[in-house]
Amino acid sequence: MSKRFIFSMLFTICFTVAFAQSNPVRLLTIQQLEKRISNPDTVYVVNFWATWCGPCVKELPNFDQLQTTYKNKPLKVLLISMDFKSKFNEVKAFAKTRKLVSEVFLADKTNEQAFIDGIDKSWSGALPGTLIVNTKKHFRKFYEQEFIYTELNKLYQTNK
Amino acid sequence: MKKFLAVLMLAVTGLVAFTADTPGYKVGDIATDFKLKNVDGKTISLANYKSAKGYIVVFTCNHCPYAKAYESRIMDLDKMYASKGYPVIAISPNDPVSEPADSFDNMKKRAAEKKYTFPYTIDETQDITRTYGAKATPHVFVLQKTDKGNVVKYIGAIDDDTENANPNRTKYVENAVNALLSGKAIETSTTKAIGCSIKWKKGA
């Protein structure tokens, strides 16, 4: 077996693995989101961010850390990009290069005001924002702020 | 020393409370006039516009993707309504140190490049931004000139579709100004200004 063959095999395997692991980004309407987070068996931590929002990009690893730490628990972290729909490819590329482990979506909104009001009446629309939902406990709260990991973890522990 | 500390504590809490407690204008409030530096070097005040019936005051900036997406619609608003008595007055609220793209020089460039037909001023102290309660760029305040002063008639977004993808979008500012021009009540007078947060001076 030639060295070259092994190299190309290795390359193919690496490429396939990377491809299989790359995080698919999907479009999500407010109705689809509501349906998803109404599942009473899971606690949802939904973060709203954008690729152009510095503080958002900075805190994304904290949400991934939460998802990784509790990957065997009924917790789902959903990262919903509020980028423009015309930036779908940029969001996909971002999710890939940053190796985001949580589920990533791009908000599909025909009416921005309705989308933001639908998430929470109190939300000004500023990013980042985070919604925590535990339907079983009738808990739903929106936080228009940034989070460090310990705060996020504490909030999850309190409301799980 | 204890007394000094207590006074200091009080001063600090007072300061914090003061800066945090600035909710800005609500519809119906009288908006203050200002003296802001325009890209042409002149100072702009609302009072300069003797024949205006009101104003479309837009807090906007160079760098923000939302402001960029709305730029041509802001230009259209001035073209549509300046001749009818509602000129656009654009104010950049951002601290150029926090966001160098929003420096006065870059504002001049942008205004020249795009041939703005309206003033593009900078709120260097950020006092007007704070007083009006602008939260994002773009953030619109439609004012109506009355005997009592300039009354705030609409606060919020230009329309409900930044991406300009929905032909049936609701044009809040146009609807508000049209209502004012025809003496009708404004249907939606407050919406959320969706955009980039204001870049405040650090340690101010």
> What is the residue type of A150?
T
CB contact under 8 A, B192 and A52: no
Could you tell me the CATH number of the domain that includes residue A64? 3.40.30.10
- Backbone φ and ψ for B141, nearest 5 degrees, come out as -125, 110
**Separation in Å, CA of B164 to nearest CA in chain A:** 10
Bridge pairing between strands B30-31 and B149-156: antiparallel
In a domain, B34, yes or no: yes
Instruction: Kindly state the average pLDDT of the residues A11-30.
Output: 67
Query: Do the Cβ atoms of B194 and A112 come within 8 Å?
Result: yes
Q: Is residue A16 part of a domain?
A: no
pLDDT in tens, A73-100: 999 999 999 999 999 999 999 999 999 9
> Sign of torsion, CA A25 A29 A33 A36?
negative
Average pLDDT over residues A18-45: 87
| Longest distance between any two alpha carbons in chain B, whole Å | 67
**Domain harbouring B164, CATH code:** 3.40.30.10
Total count of residues recorded for chain B: 204
Whether residue A1 is predicted with pLDDT greater than 70 in this model: the reply is no
Over the stretch B49-84, which tens digit does the pLDDT of each residue have? 999 999 999 999 999 999 999 999 999 999 999 999
Task: List per-residue pLDDT tens for chain B, 204 residues long.
Answer: 555 555 555 444 444 444 444 589 999 999 999 999 999 999 999 999 999 999 999 999 999 999 999 999 999 999 999 999 999 999 999 999 999 999 999 999 999 999 999 999 999 999 999 999 999 999 999 999 999 999 999 999 999 999 999 999 999 999 999 999 999 999 999 999 999 889 999 875
Q: E strands, B47-183, where? A: 54-59, 88-92, 120-122, 136-137, 139-146, 149-156
Look at residue B108 and tell me if it is in a domain: yes
**B34, amino acid identity:** F
Nearest of A25, A125, A27 to residue B66 by alpha carbon: A125
Task: Determine, yes or no, domain membership for B17.
Answer: no
- CA B76 to chain centroid, in Å, comes to 17
Is the CB of A52 less than 8 angstroms away from the CB of B169? no
C-alpha span between A63 and A102 (Å, rounded): 8
ipTM: 0.73
| A114 contacts B160? CB cut-off 8 A | yes
Residues from chain B that touch A52, judged by Cβ atoms under 8 A, are 65, 196
Find residue B20's DSSP bridge partners: none
* Range(s) of the domain holding residue B127: 24-197
Residues of A in contact with B194 (CB under 8 A): 112-113, 116, 125
Q: Tokens in use for B198?
A: 């204001």
Which strands sit side by side in the sheet containing A25-28, from one edge to the other?
A: A25-28, A103-107, A75-81, A43-49, A129-134, A139-143
If one counts the domains in chain A, the total is 1
Chain A residues in contact with B170 by the CB 8 A cut-off are: 111, 113
- Is B163 close to A124, i.e. CB distance below 8 A? no
User: What is the total count of domains within chain B?
Assistant: 1
Task: Scan for tokens 């509501």, then name that residue.
Answer: A34
Q: Quick check: is A68 in a domain?
A: yes
pTM of the prediction?
0.82
* Residue A12 domain flag: no
Could you read off the pLDDT of A133-149 as tens digits, one per residue? 999 999 999 999 999 99
* Contact in structure between B55 and B89 (CB atoms under 8 Å): yes
Residue A12 pLDDT? 53
Burial B114-125 (b: 16+ CB within 10 A, else e): eebebbbbbbee
Task: Give the confidence band of A17 by pLDDT, cuts at 50, 70, 90.
Answer: very low
CA-based nearest distance B145→chain A, Å: 28
Q: Is residue A5 part of a domain?
A: no
Residue B204 lies in a domain: no
> Among residues B184, B185, B181, which one has the least CA distance to residue B56?
B181
Would B13 be classed as within a structural domain?
Answer: no
Calpha distance A16→A5 (Å, rounded): 16
Q: What is the pLDDT of residue A7?
A: 57
For residue A78, the enclosing domain spans 24-159
Distance from CA of B69 to the nearest CA of A (A): 10
- Report pLDDT for A5: 58
Task: Say if residues B79 and B117 touch (Cβ distance below 8 Å).
Answer: yes
Quick check: is A121 in a domain? yes
pLDDT at res. A4: 63
Question: According to the model, what pLDDT value does residue B12 have?
Answer: 46
Is A79 inside any structural domain? yes
pLDDT tens, residue by residue, A103-134 = 999 999 989 999 999 999 999 888 999 999 99
| Contact state of A126 with B197 under an 8 Å Cβ cutoff | yes
- Asked, for residue A3, whether it belongs to a domain, the answer is no
Name the token pair of A25: 């980004």
Residue B168 is assigned to a structural domain of this protein: yes
C-alpha pair distances (Å), B42 with each of B36, B58, B75, B165: 8, 18, 20, 37
Q: Which of A49, A53, A81, A112 to mutate to test the interface with B (most CBs of B within 10 A)?
A: A112
- Alpha-carbon span A133 to B26, nearest angstrom: 31
Of B161, B193, B196, the CB nearest to A111: B161
Give the CA count within 13 Å in the CB-facing half-sphere of A82.
Answer: 29
- Chain B contacts of A85, Cβ < 8 Å? 163, 165
Euclidean distance between CA atoms B94 and B20, whole angstroms: 18
